[in-house]
Amino acid sequence: MSYGRITGWATNLPERVLTNDDLAEMVDTSDEWITARSGIKSRHIDGTVTEMSAIAGRAAMAMAGVDADQVDLLLLATTTADQQFPASASVVQHELGLTCGAVDMNAACSGFVYGLVTAMQFMNGSVDRILLIGADALSGIVDWTDRGTCVLFGDGAGAVVLERTGDEPSLLGWDLMSDGSAADILYCDHGGTIVMHGKEVFRRAVMAMTDSATNAIARAGVTADDISIVVPHQANVRIIEASLKRLGIPMERTAIVLGHTGNTSAASIPLALVDAIDNDRIAPGDLVLMVGFGAGMSSAAAVLRWDPPAS
């Protein structure tokens, strides 16, 4: 029996950078306020989901050494598909020359972890290779006159290739949650812009992250002390600090990129994951806790034993 594991990874950020100082010229805010309340200094904007996804997906496949005709399924986690339809996954599929099925998944900022858990279920069956992408272009749905939201979001994409080549299970425990009673605290209507009740989202985000992470850790049969690194959704450093404090995991064991990405929704966890890998913060055998939350309110966590192919 072989198990699903991550064998390739890559990210993409659009070229245009918007700093806090740039924002201070657009709305009544300051670098000091944004940094203190969120930890964000700059973000990339003006991306499209299909373009960023194709770039990241192609690079992840090249790294894994997987050809287009070998990919069995494309899962694209996004909440900002380029068009209402077709699914952006179909456009990306064509761009990459894939011949497999392709579908968008919308679990807002929890999308990448929802996608990872879904992909791993396919790998428990007979699917050999999946391209999983988390991508969002939130700059296209932000109200640039609303200082309460426009300072938080950005665009980006992260992709991983999963292959059924592991000797041991890689996904040790997971948790998927949704509380639709809170659907009205963070939303975007068709053709509209992001509406957010920031304080309530903050409060619930800390609880959701803590609960999902606790469940995934318990189901993995490990403890918080066994987690080598947490790769959390990159919404606000204060949310991450509050959640990790409750989990009893020190901030030194966290991957953080939000300072230069802002909140990129479904892209934020793969962006932070790849950054941690690139900076040699994850070694084979390490337990990685990915945990996300977002509109819905959705939340999702996964404990993954890091099992890259021998290089």
Comparing CA positions, the residue from 66, 83, 85, 87 lying closest to residue 75 is: 87
Q: Is 260 in the site for ligand COA (CB under 6 A)?
A: no
Which of these is catalytic: 12, 106, 236, 263?
263
Residue 204, Cα to own-chain centre: how many angstroms? 18
Q: Is the CB of 259 or the CB of 309 nearer to ligand COA?
A: 259
| Among residues 68, 70, 103, 198, the one that binds ligand COA under rule CB under 6 A | 198
| Among residues 263, 264, 298, 299, the one that binds ligand COA under rule CB under 6 A | 263
Q: How far apart are CA 234 and CA 113, in angstroms?
A: 13
Q: How far apart are CA 59 and CA 278, in angstroms?
A: 14
CB 137 within 8 A of CB 48: yes
Q: How far apart are CA 267 and CA 9, in angstroms?
A: 12
| Among residues 7, 29, 170, 299, the one that binds ligand COA under rule CB under 6 A | 29
Cα–Cα distances (Å) from 103 to 74, 77, 93, in that order, read 6, 9, 9
| Among residues 52, 201, 206, 244, the one that binds ligand COA under rule CB under 6 A | 201
The distance of closest approach from Cβ of residue 181 to ligand COA in the complex, given in angstroms and rounded to an integer, is 16
Stretch that binds ligand COA, among 84-92, 98-106, 144-152, 177-185 (CB under 6 A): 144-152
Residues 179-209: b if buried by 16+ CB within 10 A, e if exposed:
eeebeebbebeeeeebebeeeebbebbbbbb
| Among residues 17, 19, 31, 33, the one that binds ligand COA under rule CB under 6 A | 33
Question: Could you confirm whether 94 is annotated as catalytic?
Answer: no
CB 163 within 8 A of CB 128: yes
Which of these is catalytic: 109, 150, 188, 236?
109
Q: Is the CB of 142 or the CB of 273 nearer to ligand COA?
A: 142
Q: Is 38 in the site for ligand COA (CB under 6 A)?
A: yes
Stretch that binds ligand COA, among 52-60, 233-241, 244-252, 273-281 (CB under 6 A): 233-241
Question: Could you confirm whether 100 is annotated as catalytic?
Answer: no
* Lookup result for tokens 């009893």: 248
Q: How far apart are CA 126 and CA 89, in angstroms?
A: 22
Question: Could you confirm whether 263 is annotated as catalytic?
Answer: yes
Binding site for ligand COA (CB under 6 A): 29, 33-34, 37-38, 109, 147-148, 151, 186, 196, 198-199, 201-202, 205, 235-236, 239, 263, 294
